């Protein structure tokens, strides 16, 4: 049950959960969001905090149906990070996520990653985040 989640996370010494992917056909995301057409989302669940759902602009209304706190990815435009990444799109994407995670209080700690997503995209992001955020 969701009410047991914080205790389970503490027992496993987890500071947060990151859940990537769509709300459909993705059991971890579906569990929190309840379905709907939300694609390419990120859900952050920190111990003792309510989950936060990051979504693409076109899916604002669908994301709102989840009842969770929602934040648009457009608040963190990848273009803002392209210069810092010298035009490297994959690195810019990782810098964006680093900023997004840090902005919401997740700059270190033990994190579990869940979800159903294209492996190559998520793998590149995670490898860059490990390099950019070694304490995560």
Q: What is the pLDDT of residues 71-115, one digit of tens each?
A: 999 999 888 999 999 999 999 999 999 999 998 889 889 999 999
Burial class (CB in 10 A: 0-12, 13-18, 19+), 38: buried
Cβ-based neighbour number of residue 102 at 10 Å: 14
Residue 38, φ and ψ in degrees, nearest 5: -125, 115
Residues 6 or more apart in contact with residue 35 via CB below 8 angstroms? 23, 24
State the Cα torsion 134-77-17-61 to the nearest 10°: 180
pLDDT at 12: 97
**pLDDT per position as a tens digit, 52-74:** 999 999 999 999 999 999 999 99
Residue 5, helix vs strand vs coil: helix
Dihedral sign of CA atoms 52, 53, 57, 61 in order: negative
Q: What is the mean pLDDT of residues 31-37?
A: 89
Among 41, 46, 39, 40, CA closest to 17? 46
How would residue 14 be classed by pLDDT, with cut points 50, 70 and 90?
Answer: very high
Q: Which residues pair with 43 in a beta bridge?
A: 19, 53
């Amino acid at each position: 049950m969701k009410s047991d989640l914080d205790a389970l996370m503490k027992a496993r010494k987890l500071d947060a959960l990151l859940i990537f992917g769509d709300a459909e056909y993705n059991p971890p995301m579906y569990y929190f969001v309840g379905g709907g057409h939300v694609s390419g989302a990120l859900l952050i669940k920190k111990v003792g905090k309510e989950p936060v759902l990051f979504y693409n602009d076109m899916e604002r209304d669908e994301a709102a149906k989840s009842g969770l706190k929602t934040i648009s990815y457009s608040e963190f435009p990848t273009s803002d990070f392209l210069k810092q990444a010298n035009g490297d799109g994959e690195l810019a994407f990782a810098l964006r996520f680093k900023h997004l995670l840090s902005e919401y209080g997740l700059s270190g700690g033990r994190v579990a990653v869940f979800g159903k997503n294209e492996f190559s995209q998520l793998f590149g992001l995670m490898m860059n985040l490990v390099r950019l955020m070694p304490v995560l």
